[in-house]
Amino acid sequence: MDLQTKLENLPTNPGVYLMKNDQGEIIYVGKAINLRNRVRSYFRELKPDQAKTKALVKHIADLDYILADNELEALVLECNLIKKYRPKYNINLKDDKTYPFLKITKEDYPQVLVTRKVLKDGARYFGPYPSVNELRNSLEMIRKIFPFRSCRQKVFTNDRPCLNAHIHMCYAPCIGRISKEEYNEIIEQVALFFEGKQDGLIKRLRKEMEQAAENLEFEQAARLRDQLQGLEQIMTQQKAVLGGEDDQDVIAMARGINQCCVQIFFVRGGKIVGRENYFLRGTDDSSRGEVLASFMKQFYLTCQFIPRNILLETELEEQAVLEQWLTEKRESRVYLKVPKRGQAKDLVELVGRNASEALARQETEETHQQQRTAGALEQLQQALGLEEVPRRMECYDISNTQGTESVASMVVFVDGKPKKDQYRRFKIKTVEGANDYASLKEVLTRRFRRGLAEQSEGTEAEAGKFSAFPDVIMMDGGRGQVNIALEVLQELGLDIPVCGMVKDDRHRTRGLYYNNIEVPMDDHSEPFLLITRMQDEAHRFAITYHRSLRGKRNLASILDDIPGVGEKRKKNLLKHFGSFTRIKEASVEELLEVEGINRAVAEEIYEYLRTHQDLQARLKCR
């Protein structure tokens, strides 16, 4: 069915529509209460200032739609599809970070942990916190005041306490030095602090201190005095902004040229605990309300904590359905408010001023960076005698350990900036041992043959993985590496300049090897700094891949020995944690978050990896 026929037969139901280009890629996702009216509106005469929408329509070759029962269901589906496909013409929030929470476990002697997942496990969670470093610092300061345990033991049978108890950083519940009731009282004080009830906590501690002094319990009174002083010092670092103890997010934005900055302040317990900036591009065709709505859909889709109140700078067209969606996610009422007066309005304006300041800094930095990179490329063109400025450059590096797990990296710089979505990595298939020349020949042959095949198939540069060819190839090395690259290009009938990035005896870049001569470069010049960044990036990307393969191999061999861990659980562990180090450092509670891992298996993995780690350390010491 052609596009025109689909447009004529669109239903009038609520739903989500998906626009596709001639490659079948989804380039835009939207929702509508009436699919027919909304989708057809794109193909009517557009206003002159709707440049982005005109570009979208120009590339629409096909469309699809999914029916929904109501507008809320369509909203949820739209959010998930945008997150999944990242369509080119949607306003995309590219920040996928998960915020840290403080977790107090449900145990006789609770642990206080930092986690990024909120589970329904009976534990208490506080947050989210914008910065994990700030959270860890706060936790460390609180631990000095209230020395709760930092070990992860489940059963306390130790004959002697750990070092923390000896240096007064733990009350040593493991040997019964503190009762369950007394320890849980300490944990309640920690919870009061992270709930934002520091004022009440200070009053309580001061009363206890005075009572201890009256009872002539001077040691206890001194300990409470030290706790009070520590809390008051921490509180001076937080800024009270609103009366009451409400949790709120405050959102405002500033507009620039085809981009905007959305800033969000996190208010917890009536105090600002942090803020974040998000830069969105391609927003010229959208109103302020549309930009904020797009931001909120993507930000709160994966956010595990939603406050009761969200303050906004402007009304949203979809405000009612967004409120309903957030209420269902929170499982209690959420209010979107646009304050008109008073302290709340002042706070929104403060966030807006901060967004303007952040946007100005960003634009100044971008302008400065563009001038630097443009100048570097022009100077590089002159130094090498190239006909045109080398806009696209590719750099290659090989990494192995004594000839094992040989891999190669290809990093791409466009207009002097790393283009990370076009980086490629290769596992060496045909070379035995540590033979960098043979490995480079294999990689370059594979790369350019694949590129030629894509070009012959008519694949566009933005769609193909290898169809875009570089203006210059940079090799990590000198004459030998350059000759290998030239040999491959000659065999394939390609004419691309090849440079070697030459290093001195101390393994530092000293210049370029090009056309059988070494081109000296000032080590403070912009071209020199650019090629050094490329060389470092190629090396980093190669060695990261090599370590990943080596770590997965080691992890697989270790996990094979653990009872109850089969292929499926191994894959789930790798997928969840991403690295061997993170699995080794995981607690039993964190292991339980992995799909298919029950408590018995989690405890088995935890004990085995801890034992294995100790064994490895002892072997290294011999």
Query: How does pLDDT run across 511-554, given as a tens digit for each residue?
Result: 888 888 888 888 778 888 888 888 888 888 877 765 665 555 55
Q: Does residue 561 register a pLDDT over 70?
A: no
How far is the C-alpha of 31 from the C-alpha of 78, rounded, in Å? 6
Which residues fall within 8 angstroms of residue 91, CB to CB, at 6 or more apart? 280, 282, 283, 286, 290, 291, 294, 295
Q: Tell me, what's the pLDDT at 232?
A: 65
Q: Summarize the confidence of residues 561-586 as an average pLDDT.
A: 77
Q: Tell me, what's the pLDDT at 48?
A: 72
Q: Tell me, what's the pLDDT at 254?
A: 93
Mean pLDDT (the chain) is: 81
Which residues fall within 8 angstroms of residue 206, CB to CB, at 6 or more apart? 224, 228
Among 150-154, 450-454, 479-483, 618-622, name the one with the lowest average pLDDT.
Answer: 618-622
Q: Summarize the confidence of residues 457-486 as an average pLDDT.
A: 82
pLDDT tens, position by position, 334-363: 999 999 988 889 889 989 999 999 898 888
* 562-574 as b/e: b if 16+ CB within 10 A: beebeeebbeebb
pLDDT band per the 50, 70, 90 thresholds, residue 457: confident
Which span out of 116-120, 121-125, 324-328 was modeled with the highest average pLDDT?
Answer: 324-328
Q: How much is the pTM?
A: 0.60
**What percent of the chain lies above the pLDDT cut of 70?**
84
pLDDT band per the 50, 70, 90 thresholds, residue 325: very high
pLDDT band per the 50, 70, 90 thresholds, residue 231: low
Cα–Cα–Cα angle for 553, 541, 132, rounded to 5 degrees: 85
Structure tokens at 115: 């986690």
Domains, the chain, with CATH or none: 3-85 (3.40.1440.10), 101-240 (no CATH), 248-360 (3.30.420.10), 392-548 (3.30.420.340), 560-621 (1.10.150.20)
Q: Tell me, what's the pLDDT at 8?
A: 86
Q: Tell me, what's the pLDDT at 311?
A: 95
How far is the C-alpha of 186 from the C-alpha of 280, rounded, in Å? 44
Q: Summarize the confidence of residues 268-287 as an average pLDDT.
A: 79
Structure tokens at 332: 């209690």
Q: Give, for 373, the enclosing helix (H) or strand (E).
A: helix 342-384
Cα separation values, 173 from 85, 234, 274, 312, 430, Å: 51, 27, 34, 47, 59
Q: Tell me, what's the pLDDT at 373?
A: 82
Structure tokens at 184: 């849980």
The contacts found for 192-198 with CB under 8 angstroms, 24 or more apart, are: 193/142, 193/231, 194/102, 194/126, 195/126, 195/269, 196/245, 196/268, 196/269, 196/270, 196/271, 197/245, 197/269, 198/231, 198/234, 198/235
pLDDT band per the 50, 70, 90 thresholds, residue 560: low
pLDDT tens, position by position, 148-185: 887 776 656 666 777 777 667 787 777 777 888 888 88
Q: What share of the chain is helix, strand, coil (3-state, %, to 5)?
A: 45, 20, 35
Could you tell me which residue, 427 or 66, shows the higher pLDDT? Answer: 66
Residue type at position 27: I
Q: Does residue 242 register a pLDDT over 60?
A: no
Contact 87, 17 (CB under 8 A): no
Backbone dihedral region for residue 71 (phi beyond 0: left; psi -120 to 50: alpha; all else: beta)? alpha
Which residues fall within 8 angstroms of residue 224, CB to CB, at 6 or more apart? 205, 206, 208, 209, 212
Q: Where are the beta strands (DSSP E) in 80-137?
A: 101-104, 112-115, 124-126
What count of other Cβ atoms lies within 10 Å of the Cβ of residue 333? 10
End-to-end CA distance of the chain: 73
Q: Does residue 621 register a pLDDT over 50?
A: no
Q: Tell me, what's the pLDDT at 293?
A: 92
Which span out of 144-158, 454-468, 503-517, 546-560 was modeled with the highest average pLDDT?
Answer: 503-517
